[in-house]
Each structure stands twice: as structure tokens, then as C-alpha cells.
């Protein structure tokens, strides 16, 4: 089926663009989730902590993870990566060959070649996030379309592409796109629209505009006047007739909700259409298919947004605009407000977007695929949108040094979203599982918004169906593509705040041979304690033992009711820090296997920049992920880690854990202090090389053995707060 072909190609393009259609999400859906996922410990869940083993919750009931608080995927294995790795054979991130070289150019060109759908950006059409968040986000449209759609800038909201958005829009407008309707004269649909006076729901239409333009309503893709873009499409009258039929059919079905103005704003580049048609097999059928796809998109996205807007507005005082004037990412937990100042939210996602669920969002672009924004995908709130710049507009990153709290200036490399792929299209995530975080405090509003987002049962059904298709699609491609998805965003984005509050940095304190984690949240009693080390380690152990049967990275599946998508952190790797890692070299050697498996594939030894959000401090460190040739192999390094190590007070023997947010694809890093019992503290570096060796050896043993054997969880009475 051609539409499937489109979908498949869309996936290809996604890969080419370094965007994986939620492959990381596939992990969520992996079979056997319960076996490992069920053992995922609860992180910071317990308000009361330190009550002994009773608190060592090893949850076998994954449903527990769908509580209000997120969980951290467990460490399936302890650091010394290679030996304990239970992950599947390394799956190199798929990096398009085009990727590594010219980020800016490729992103530009890709942006230029996207199918351009112009949506009604002027109305605060809420994003119908059919996949869970229920946010009605006006910004959604803008975000969705940062590159692929022409978005009217709403400066009052500060979104669009920011400056970059301006760029991208200008760029879009620079290129010759075609209007679906403008100046087309094949079909006069005015008859259809003229009935709009009787439109049952006047709110769904801009009747004024509509009437004004009735005379101009014509069939899309038949534009001969605007540049003669579509000659190829109307090469034969028969073809036109077929297209007309399809279009008229659609118009009839949607006459209540679509206006001429709506359609007028749908613009698609000629080259895009041509290419799409070719990809669809060419000819009349291809054009029909393409038209259907476009119309479906218009219907599901644009029109639903409009509906949602209407409903939202009717819910007076709850325009979704307003709803986002409150920082949707604000930390609902006042105790954790220090974690992420909303203003510091770094939410743009240069490599965020993932291919849409097939088939209707995928569009062939020239030279590759473009994507019509998937309808109703979550969008960052407007206040973050200025950060959602098109890649080409991002400021160049400093050449060295961590960049905490920077607005994710993306390094040249990262313009091709960390797989080295051009992210010509950024700023929104089409991954249906990438939900914006909804603070509990806003749940009421969110419910309303969700209401509006599923304004019609039809729309809801469609969304659900699409989601199912998407899920199955992902599941099929899980193994091959898992890396890419997690790589799709190397920078923080909208879900930053979603995870940070729950992932309090922890330190391990020991007393008399007992270890425990202790939240690092200053001055406030930790509302939730991370799982005790033992719990984690038990999990690791079990995960390890089960490793042969299943892939290592598993995340809480989202197929359950109550899934809280914002909680999906995916464990990527961890590394017990060696002296050389915490020294002044500012670099950490990463375990090779895990690095190759879970981090973007590196084509050049210079590697790529990775924005790593420090889970503990919410700071974002611009680290460099690279490799050195080493014998016939490679040595993978994370550079610019010096400040991170200092900030977290990490020392030899501590470890770092790197996660990816499966929703956003961004990377999160967590420094975990491990302090051995008094008298054996590793605070001081080994005084001699021999001592260092001994320590290293000991450390290796820790790494390679089941850690749980080495750890005793403190009883509450023996806990000491570091």
C-alpha cells in the first residue's frame, strides 16, 4: 500500500534526519518489561524514608510506576560496562551519511524541502495531544511546524522559532511553495463553503474569512498560476478529475469544519509534492494518495486544533494560552523548586522530532521526506518556544567548557542531532509518546484541555488508532532503531522539568558499613527518597541475570492505563569514575559497549556535543562525546566533564549514570556519590600508584560482581546525612 510506503519512507527519512520514530519508545513496549521493569525501583517516591528494609521497595508491579512520581529505570548493570552489559549487541546509532558533514547546510536544505503546511497559527488552536498530555497548546502548531509548517508568529507569545523561527519562516516563505487553494481553479468549492452559513458549529469556522474567500476556493494541487508548480499533477484531466473527486469528497465530509481560509493556508512545496508523488509510485494514484494524506492531515491536525480552540475558549477563562502562562513545567513540588527555574528551562529540542506515526503525516520531500506535522503532538509551552529555534539559527557553542544553563547552543555537530544528522526540522516532537510534562497542579486544567483535545470521539478514535499503528510500527523496528530515538534530542527540552524534580540527586552515605542514598535536595527534608542502593542493586542483579533473555534497557511500558509518560527515563549507561575520570582532565572514559549501543554513533573522532542535563542540579552541561582511536578499536570519552564532576563533588569510586528521556530523547546525567564506610573512604585519591591500582582493582570487582553483594542498605538508625 502506498501509504505504507510513505510511512516506511518516512521512517527512513527520520533515520536520515537522525530522528527515530520513537525507537526508544519501543523499549517501552518491549516484551518482558515486567520482568525487568517490574523490578525497577522507585526513585524518590517514598515520602518517608529510611525505615529499614520495609522501604526497600522492589516493585514487581509495574503499575506502581504510574503513580504521580516518576521512576528511574534501574541500572541493569553496574558500570564496568563491558563485563556486565546485558544489552543486546551494540546497535550503532544510525547515522545518515549525509549527516556528519554539513549540519547547517543540511538543516537548511531540509527545512527548505519540507512539505509546508501552513496552519492556522493565528488562532490559539490548542494542540490536541492525543497521546496523553491532553495539552491544548497553541504553540504546538508553531512547534510542530518549526520547519515544516509556516507559522504565523505570535510574538506576544514569544514563540514561533524565536529568531530562529523567524528565520525558518522566512526561509519557508522564500521557497516556492504552493498553496493548496490559492489561485487554483479546478474546483470551485464555493458551493460547499457557501453552505457554511448553516454550519452547525459556527465556532469551527471563520465564516467571515470563509465567505470572503469563497470565490477563491479551489482545488488544491492544481495551481498553475502560482508559479506553475503543479503541472506534473494536472498532466491529465483524468487525474485531475480523480483528485477533484477525492478532494470534493473530503470537502463534503469536512465542510462543517473546514473553511477556504483553512485550506488556503495549507501550502506545500512543489518539489515536495513532486517528490512525494514519486515516492508514492508516481502517477495518478500517487497523487491521489498524496492528496488524501494531505487532507487527512489537514483534517486531523488543523481542524481539530480549531475545534479544540473553540471548545477551550468556550470553557471561558481557560484558553489554553492561559493555561500555559503558568509554567507547565514548573515544579509542582515547592520543595524542589530549586531544581529548575522555569526561566531557565531549556526546552528547545533541536533534534527532537520524530517521524510521525504512519501514514498520514509523512510526506515526501525533496530531496527526501518532509513531514507534515503530526497532528496533536505535544508542544512545549509558549514560554519555551523562543528556544525552539531552528538548528541553523542556534548560536555556535563555545568550543570548550561546560555550559551550564545555557540555552543549548547547539554545537555544529549537534545540528545534525546527535546522530550526526541534520535536524532541519526541529522544535517539536512528533513522537506521540513525547508528552509534555504536566505538573499535578495543573491537572485540572489539563483535564479540561484534554477534554478539548479530544473534542470529538472521532478524533479520539483516530488518535488512538494512529497510536496503535505507531506502537506496532515501533515495536517492529525496535532493535534496529532503538539508538536513534534516544538520540533524537541531545538537548533538553520540554520534559526537562518533568524528570528533574523527581530525580533528586542522591548521594550515598554510609555509616558503619551501610550504604544508602540520600537526596541532595538542600534544606528540605527529602520528600521522596530514592531507592536504597540495595534495591537498585538487587534490581541490577536481577536485570543482569535476566539479561540473556531480554534487552537491557527497558522502560516502563506505556501501554498501561495511567502511564505517566513524563517518567520515562531510560538507563543508558553508567560508569564508575576512575581517578582519571575525576582528575583535571575533564574527561570521562565511557564504557565502549554501552556508548556504542546507546549514544549516537560517532563518525568523526571529534565526536559531537551532547547536552547533558544534570538531574541533580538541572544544569545542562554541554559535553562532548567523542572517541579516540585505540588500537583497532575506539575509546569513547565524555569531555568537558570537569565542572560537572566538581559541581557534584564526584570522586573516584562515585559513578555517573546517563539516561535518556524516552519522551524527549534528551540526555540526562546523574552523578552519584558513593561513600564507603568510614575508614575506607575514597575521599582522598590513592596516595600511591599501588594504592590506586588496588583501588581500581577493588573497583573493578565492584563493577563486575553483583553489586548487591557489596552493599548493605542502611537501617534508618544508621543513616547519616551527608
Partner DNA sequence: CGAACATGCAGTGAA
Partner DNA sequence: TCACTGCATGTTCGA
Residues in contact with DNA by the rule CB under 7 A:
80-83, 400, 575-576, 578-581, 584-587, 589-594, 605-606, 626, 628-633, 635-636, 639, 642, 689, 692-693, 696-697, 700-701, 704
**Beta strands 620-630; 608-614: pairing state:** antiparallel
Cβ proximity to DNA: between 51 and 681 the closer is: 681
* Closest CB 655 distance from DNA, rounded Å: 10
Burial class (CB in 10 A: 0-12, 13-18, 19+), 688: exposed
Q: Which residues of 581-598 are buried (b: 16+ CB within 10 A; e: fewer)?
A: bbeeebbbbbbbbbbbbb
Burial class (CB in 10 A: 0-12, 13-18, 19+), 721: exposed
* Closest CB 537 distance from DNA, rounded Å: 17
Cβ proximity to DNA: between 633 and 678 the closer is: 633
**Beta strands 506-511; 514-519: pairing state:** antiparallel
| Nearest one of 350, 362, 598 to 473, comparing CA atoms | 362
* Closest CB 364 distance from DNA, rounded Å: 39
| Nearest one of 466, 560, 38, 140 to 474, comparing CA atoms | 466
Q: Give yes or no for a contact between 13 and 98, defined as CB atoms under 8 angstroms apart.
A: no
CA distance 458 to 455: 8
- Which H or E run contains 172? helix 162-174
Cβ proximity to DNA: between 171 and 590 the closer is: 590
- Which H or E run contains 443? helix 443-453
CA distance 379 to 384: 10
* Closest CB 548 distance from DNA, rounded Å: 11
Beta bridge partners of 378: none
Cell of 338: 530549586
**Beta strands 667-672; 506-511: pairing state:** unpaired
Q: Give yes or no for a contact between 106 and 422, defined as CB atoms under 8 angstroms apart.
A: yes
Beta bridge partners of 149: 117
CA angle 294, 300, 301 (to 5 degrees): 85
* Closest CB 700 distance from DNA, rounded Å: 4
Cβ proximity to DNA: between 105 and 647 the closer is: 647
Cβ proximity to DNA: between 259 and 640 the closer is: 640
Cα–Cα separations (whole angstroms), residue 449 to 133, 263, 563: 9, 25, 18
* Closest CB 681 distance from DNA, rounded Å: 17
**Beta strands 667-672; 655-661: pairing state:** antiparallel
CA distance 681 to 675: 6
* Closest CB 416 distance from DNA, rounded Å: 20
Q: Give yes or no for a contact between 137 and 322, defined as CB atoms under 8 angstroms apart.
A: no
Cα–Cα separations (whole angstroms), residue 563 to 65, 76, 449, 457, 570: 8, 22, 18, 21, 15
Q: Give yes or no for a contact between 129 and 376, defined as CB atoms under 8 angstroms apart.
A: yes
DSSP for 265-287 reads T-EEEHHHHHHHHHHTTSHHHHH
Cβ proximity to DNA: between 463 and 593 the closer is: 593
Cβ proximity to DNA: between 36 and 589 the closer is: 589
Q: Could you give the angle at which helices 2-16 and 270-279 cross, rounded to 10 degrees?
A: 120
Could you identify the residue written with the cell 477533484?
244
Cβ proximity to DNA: between 560 and 605 the closer is: 605
Cβ proximity to DNA: between 188 and 606 the closer is: 606
* Closest CB 340 distance from DNA, rounded Å: 28
Cβ proximity to DNA: between 509 and 544 the closer is: 544
Cβ proximity to DNA: between 386 and 671 the closer is: 671
CA angle 536, 540, 546 (to 5 degrees): 145
* Closest CB 93 distance from DNA, rounded Å: 16
Cβ proximity to DNA: between 343 and 584 the closer is: 584
**Beta strands 633-639; 655-661: pairing state:** unpaired
**Beta strands 633-639; 149-150: pairing state:** unpaired
* Closest CB 606 distance from DNA, rounded Å: 7
Q: List alpha helices for 336-442, DSSP H.
A: 417-420
* Closest CB 693 distance from DNA, rounded Å: 5
Cβ proximity to DNA: between 59 and 575 the closer is: 575
Cβ proximity to DNA: between 245 and 628 the closer is: 628
Cβ proximity to DNA: between 49 and 626 the closer is: 626
- Which H or E run contains 621? strand 620-630
* Closest CB 641 distance from DNA, rounded Å: 10
* Closest CB 698 distance from DNA, rounded Å: 9
Amino acid at each position: 500500500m502506498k501509504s505504507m510506503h510513505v510511512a516506511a519512507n518516512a521512517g527512513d527519512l527520520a533515520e536520515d534526519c537522525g530522528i527515530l520514530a520513537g525507537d526508544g519508545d519501543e523499549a517501552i513496549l518491549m516484551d518482558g518489561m515486567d520482568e525487568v521493569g517490574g523490578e525497577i525501583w522507585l526513585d524518590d517516591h517514598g515520602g518517608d524514608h529510611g525505615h529499614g528494609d520495609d522501604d526497600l521497595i522492589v516493585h514487581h508491579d509495574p503499575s506502581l510506576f504510574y503513580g504521580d512520581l516518576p521512576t528511574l529505570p534501574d541500572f541493569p548493570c553496574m558500570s564496568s560496562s563491558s563485563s556486565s552489559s546485558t544489552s543486546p549487541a551494540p546497535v550503532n546509532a544510525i547515522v545518515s551519511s549525509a549527516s556528519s558533514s554539513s549540519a547547517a547546510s543540511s538543516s537548511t536544505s531540509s527545512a527548505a524541502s519540507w512539505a509546508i503546511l501552513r496552519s492556522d497559527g493565528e488562532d490559539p488552536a490548542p494542540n490536541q495531544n492525543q497521546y496523553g498530555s491532553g495539552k491544548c497548546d497553541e504553540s504546538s502548531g508553531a512547534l510542530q511546524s518549526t520547519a515544516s509548517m509556516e507559522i504565523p508568529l505570535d510574538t506576544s507569545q514569544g514563540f514561533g522559532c524565536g529568531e530562529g523561527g523567524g528565520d525558518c519562516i522566512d526561509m519557508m516563505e522564500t521557497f516556492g511553495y504552493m498553496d493548496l487553494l490559492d489561485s487554483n481553479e479546478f474546483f470551485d468549492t464555493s458551493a460547499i463553503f457557501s453552505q457554511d452559513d448553516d454550519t452547525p458549529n459556527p465556532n469551527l469556522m471563520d465564516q467571515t474569512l470563509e465567505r470572503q474567500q469563497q470565490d477563491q476556493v479551489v482545488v488544491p494541487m492544481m495551481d498553475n498560476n502560482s508559479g506553475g508548480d503543479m503541472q506534473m499533477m494536472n498532466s491529465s484531466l483524468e487525474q485531475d478529475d480523480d483528485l477533484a473527486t477525492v478532494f470534493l469528497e473530503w470537502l463534503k465530509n469536512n465542510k462543517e469544519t473546514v473553511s477556504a481560509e483553512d485550506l488556503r493556508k495549507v501550502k506545500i512545496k512543489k518539489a515536495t509534492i513532486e517528490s512525494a508523488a514519486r515516492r508514492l509510485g508516481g502517477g495518478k494514484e500517487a497523487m491521489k494518495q498524496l492528496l488524501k494524506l494531505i487532507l487527512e492531515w489537514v483534517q486531523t491536525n488543523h481542524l481539530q486544533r480549531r475545534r479544540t480552540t473553540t471548545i477551550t475558549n468556550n470553557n471561558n477563562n481557560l484558553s489554553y494560552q492561559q493555561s500555559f502562562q503558568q509554567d507547565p513545567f514548573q515544579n509542582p513540588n515547592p520543595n524542589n523548586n530549586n531544581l529548575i527555574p522555569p526561566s531557565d528551562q531549556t526546552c528547545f529540542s533541536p533534534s527532537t522530532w520524530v517521524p510521525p506515526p504512519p501514514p498520514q503525516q509523512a510526506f515526501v520531500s525533496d530531496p527526501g521526506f518532509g513531514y507534515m506535522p503530526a497532528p496533536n503532538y505535544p508542544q512545549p509551552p509558549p514560554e519555551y518556544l523562543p528556544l525552539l529555534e531552528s538548528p541553523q539559527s542556534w548560536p555556535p557553542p563555545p568550543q570548550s567548557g561546560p555550559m551550564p544553563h545555557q540555552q543549548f547552543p547547539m554545537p555544529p555537530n549537534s545540528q545534525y542531532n546527535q546522530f550526526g544528522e541534520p535536524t532541519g526540522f526541529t522544535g517539536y516532537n512528533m513522537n506521540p509518546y513525547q508528552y509534555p510534562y504536566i505538573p499535578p497542579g495543573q491537572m485540572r486544567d489539563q483535564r479540561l484541555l484534554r477534554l478539548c483535545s479530544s473534542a470529538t470521539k472521532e478524533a479520539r478514535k483516530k488518535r488512538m488508532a494512529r497510536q496503535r499503528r505507531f506502537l506496532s510500527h515501533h515495536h517492529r523496528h525496535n532493535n534496529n532503531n532503538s539508538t536513534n530515538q534516544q538520540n533524537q534530542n541531545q538537548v533538553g527540552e520540554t520534559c526537562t522539568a518533568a524528570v528533574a524534580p523527581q530525580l533528586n540527586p542522591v548521594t550515598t552515605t554510609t555509616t558503619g558499613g551501610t550504604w544508602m542514598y540520600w537526596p541532595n535536595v538542600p534544606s528540605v527534608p527529602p520528600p521522596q527518597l530514592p531507592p536504597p542502593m540495595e534495591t537498585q542493586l538487587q534490581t541490577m542483579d536481577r536485570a543482569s541475570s535476566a539479561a540473556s533473555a531480554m534487552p537491557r534497557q527497558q522502560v516502563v511500558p506505556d501501554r498501561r492505563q495511567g502511564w505517566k509518560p513524563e517518567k520515562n527515563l531510560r538507563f543508558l549507561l553508567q560508569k564508575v569514575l576512575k581517578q582519571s575520570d575525576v582528575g583535571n582532565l575533564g574527561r570521562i572514559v565511557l564504557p565502549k559497549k554501552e556508548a556504542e549501543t546507546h549514544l549516537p554513533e560517532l563518525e568523526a573522532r571529534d565526536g559531537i556535543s551532547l547536552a547533558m542535563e544534570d538531574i541533580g542540579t538541572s544544569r545542562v552541561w554541554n559535553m562532548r562525546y567523542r572517541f579516540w582511536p585505540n588500537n583497532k578499536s575506539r575509546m569513547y570519552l565524555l569531555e568537558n566533564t570537569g565542572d560537572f564532576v566538581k559541581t557534584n563533588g564526584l570522586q573516584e569510586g562515585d559513578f555517573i549514570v546517563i539516561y535518556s528521556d524516552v519522551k524527549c530523547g534528551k540526555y540526562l546525567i546523574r552523578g552519584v556519590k558513593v561513600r564507603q564506610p568510614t575508614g575506607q573512604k575514597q575521599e582522598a585519591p590513592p596516595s600511591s600508584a599501588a594504592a590506586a591500582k588496588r583501588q581500581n582493582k577493588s573497583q573493578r570487582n565492584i563493577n563486575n560482581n553483583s553489586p548487591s553483594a557489596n552493599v548493605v542498605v542502611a537501617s534508618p538508625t544508621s543513616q547519616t546525612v551527608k
